């Protein structure tokens, strides 16, 4: 009802009559196959005040607007087809004859701008805010009268601020604005800040000298601010990369760090975790689509169990015969990694598998000048939780106690009645299971393909060795250090050279401190 009222308000605006006068049927242009005609029709429709304008343009945005051979425009909805011009439900539509209204980026821009102007009077403050932001980007002077009305009617301070910013942007774009108003507008946009503001100020052309000077000054100030923010942003990117490295390496810190097994198939455990996520999502998509948002929570324990079980099988079936023979272990696990990759390739196919991202992990949030994407943020939190859980297991559980006992002094532990082979298998299973959980997280940022693990195996070894073999805190510090160094080098040296620099630095470091940053001390190490 509110929406309807809003459209009536819009209909009464001064812009409506001239648009109507141009052509009898503003919808007709939509049926064209020329993109320019379609986008002009969208703009005209938005300004026409027709009550069917909003649903039609929304349908166009969702690619649900079709033309019938008789020139009728139809909106495809959940309950069949609706006539776009009248809103009446239609029956018996020959779907094969319908042609979708063609959309390209030009049309999409027109649609966004149009929805911006239509939604300014929506009942939800969120939608109004989005609309105002769309107007800020489209800066169409034709919307100015509507914008003034919207500002006058606005009750929410935050939304009103965005509307004023949009008004300032549109004023700068209009040739009729007086100089004083322009200067005020530049000040409003300078106060807004952000990349969009910079883009807008940078694009100003044909202004009076005073306005140009003010815009230039604002631009320099914003630029300086931006540079400060980007330093902080680099640290955040580094932490995010570091947490990915930490997740990938945490399992290896157990199998290689604690047990001393050079496990080249570690990456494949990660890959199996990612494929477990895929299978879980496939089942959810087929059986219980409403559960999709929670799919990752289901996948995490399952991935732990699947990878962990495979890890135990590998330890019992292969690695237990190779203890104390690092070279053979290296070759055998490397061969195993190829076998696992090809097995997955035969089972699931060589191409990437589509693992969906739940809604709550999509998009980004702004903190001042910082952009933090939700998927990365989730992974940082998840990595911290995994590391904390792992440390708790080692520190506080009976299993952890036995693991530590076996790795510190195998013969003494055996003398105390601990079944050391069994503990070996469980420890390897734990390390592999953690790799599997890492796979769930990586499925959100990387390809789920048989090669997934290969990309992480070298980085994982690097993290564990750099941090100090056998030390979980060392793994944490080294993962974060490598992440941050990488992200600071990348903008300066480029991604390729940056990686090379990190490797060279690491080699130099290992030359000086072969045991890494936090070496374990004591008799056990000497054996």
The contact set with other proteins (CB under 8 A) reads 35, 63, 102-106, 108-109, 112, 137, 195-196, 198-204, 226, 230, 233-234, 237, 240-241, 244, 341-342, 345, 349-354, 356-357, 362-364, 371, 373-376, 445-451, 454-455, 486-487, 490-491, 494-496, 499
Q: Which CB atom, from 410 or from 499, has the smaller least distance to other proteins?
A: 499
Cα 194 to Cα 190: distance, rounded to the nearest angstrom: 9
Q: Which CB atom, from 55 or from 193, has the smaller least distance to other proteins?
A: 193
**Which strand (E) or helix (H) includes residue 366?**
strand 364-367
Q: Which CB atom, from 12 or from 339, has the smaller least distance to other proteins?
A: 339
Give SS3 for 26: coil
Q: Which CB atom, from 186 or from 390, has the smaller least distance to other proteins?
A: 186
- Beta carbon of residue 280, minimum distance to other proteins (angstroms, whole number): 16
- Beta carbon of residue 26, minimum distance to other proteins (angstroms, whole number): 22
Cα 197 to Cα 218: distance, rounded to the nearest angstrom: 10
Sign of CA dihedral 380, 381, 384, 390: negative
Q: Which residue has the tokens 């941090």?
A: 467
- Beta carbon of residue 65, minimum distance to other proteins (angstroms, whole number): 14
Cα 108 to Cα 110: distance, rounded to the nearest angstrom: 5
Q: Which CB atom, from 59 or from 254, has the smaller least distance to other proteins?
A: 59
Q: Which CB atom, from 93 or from 445, has the smaller least distance to other proteins?
A: 445
Q: Torsions phi, psi of 261, nearest 5?
A: -90, 125
Q: Which CB atom, from 85 or from 109, has the smaller least distance to other proteins?
A: 109
Sign of CA dihedral 447, 449, 455, 461: positive
- Beta carbon of residue 490, minimum distance to other proteins (angstroms, whole number): 6
DSSP string across 43-79 = HHHHHHT-TTHHHHHHHHHTT-EEE-TTS-EEEEETT
Q: Tokens at residue 226, please? A: 């931006």
Q: Are the C-beta atoms of residues 170 and 158 closer than 8 Å to each other?
A: no
- Beta carbon of residue 154, minimum distance to other proteins (angstroms, whole number): 24
Q: Which CB atom, from 199 or from 397, has the smaller least distance to other proteins?
A: 199
- Beta carbon of residue 51, minimum distance to other proteins (angstroms, whole number): 26
Sign of CA dihedral 109, 113, 114, 120: positive
- Beta carbon of residue 202, minimum distance to other proteins (angstroms, whole number): 3
Q: Which CB atom, from 32 or from 352, has the smaller least distance to other proteins?
A: 352
Q: Which CB atom, from 292 or from 323, has the smaller least distance to other proteins?
A: 292
Cα 202 to Cα 214: distance, rounded to the nearest angstrom: 12
- Beta carbon of residue 338, minimum distance to other proteins (angstroms, whole number): 8
Sign of CA dihedral 154, 158, 164, 169: negative
Q: Are the C-beta atoms of residues 56 and 75 closer than 8 Å to each other?
A: yes
User: In 10 A of CB 125, how many CB atoms?
Assistant: 14
Sign of CA dihedral 35, 37, 43, 48: negative
- Sequence length of the chain is 527
- Beta carbon of residue 200, minimum distance to other proteins (angstroms, whole number): 7
- Beta carbon of residue 455, minimum distance to other proteins (angstroms, whole number): 5
Q: Tokens at residue 350, please? A: 């060589």
């Amino acid at each position: 009802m509110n929406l309807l009222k809003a459209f009536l308000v819009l209909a009464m605006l001064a812009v409506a009559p001239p648009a109507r006068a141009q052509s009898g049927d503003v919808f007709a242009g939509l049926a064209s196959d020329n993109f320019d005609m379609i986008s002009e029709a969208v703009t005209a429709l938005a300004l026409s005040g027709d009550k069917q304008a909003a649903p039609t343009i929304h349908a166009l945005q969702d690619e649900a607007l079709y033309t019938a051979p008789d020139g009728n425009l139809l909106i495809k909805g959940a309950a069949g087809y609706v006539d776009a011009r009248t809103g009446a439900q239609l029956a018996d539509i020959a779907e094969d004859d319908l042609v979708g209204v063609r959309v390209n980026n030009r049309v999409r821009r027109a649609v966004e701008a149009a929805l911006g102007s239509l939604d300014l009077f929506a009942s939800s403050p969120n939608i109004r805010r989005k609309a105002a932001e769309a107007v800020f980007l489209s800066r169409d002077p034709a919307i100015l009268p509507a914008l003034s009305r919207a500002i006058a009617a606005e009750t929410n301070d935050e939304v009103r601020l965005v509307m004023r910013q949009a008004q300032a942007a549109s004023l700068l774009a209009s040739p009729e604005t007086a100089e004083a108003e322009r200067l005020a507008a530049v000040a409003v946009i300078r106060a807004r800040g952000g990349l969009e503001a910079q883009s807008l100020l940078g694009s100003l052309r044909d202004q009076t000298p005073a306005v140009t000077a003010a815009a230039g000054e604002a631009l320099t100030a914003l630029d300086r601010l931006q540079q400060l923010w980007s330093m902080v942003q680099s640290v955040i990117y580094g932490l995010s990369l570091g947490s990915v490295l930490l997740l990938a390496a945490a399992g290896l810190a157990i199998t290689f760090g604690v047990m001393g097994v050079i496990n080249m198939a570690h990456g494949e455990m990660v890959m199996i975790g990612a494929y477990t996520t895929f299978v879980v999502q496939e089942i959810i998509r087929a059986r219980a689509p409403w559960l999709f948002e929670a799919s990752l929570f289901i996948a995490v324990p399952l991935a732990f169990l699947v990878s962990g079980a495979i890890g135990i099988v590998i330890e019992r079936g292969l690695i237990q015969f190779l203890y104390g023979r690092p070279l053979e272990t290296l070759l055998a696990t490397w061969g195993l990694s190829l076998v696992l990759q090809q097995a997955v390739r035969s089972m699931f196919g060589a191409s990437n598998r589509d693992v969906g991202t739940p809604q709550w992990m999509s998009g980004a949030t702004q903190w001042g000048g910082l952009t933090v994407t939700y998927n990365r943020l989730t992974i940082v939190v998840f990595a911290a939780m995994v590391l904390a859980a792992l440390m708790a297991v080692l520190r506080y559980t009976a299993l952890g106690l036995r693991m530590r006992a076996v790795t510190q002094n195998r013969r003494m532990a055996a003398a105390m009645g601990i079944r050391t082979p069994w503990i070996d298998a469980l420890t390897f299973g734990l390390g592999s299971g953690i790799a599997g959980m890492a796979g769930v997280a990586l499925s959100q940022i990387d390809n789920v393909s048989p090669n997934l693990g290969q990309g992480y195996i070298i980085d994982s070894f690097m993290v564990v060795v750099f941090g100090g073999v056998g030390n979980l805190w060392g793994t944490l510090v080294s993962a974060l250090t490598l992440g941050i160094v990488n992200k600071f080098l990348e903008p300066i040296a480029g991604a390729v050279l940056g990686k090379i620099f990190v490797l060279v630095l690491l080699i130099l470091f290992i030359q000086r401190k072969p045991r890494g940053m936090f070496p374990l001390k004591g008799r056990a190490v000497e054996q």
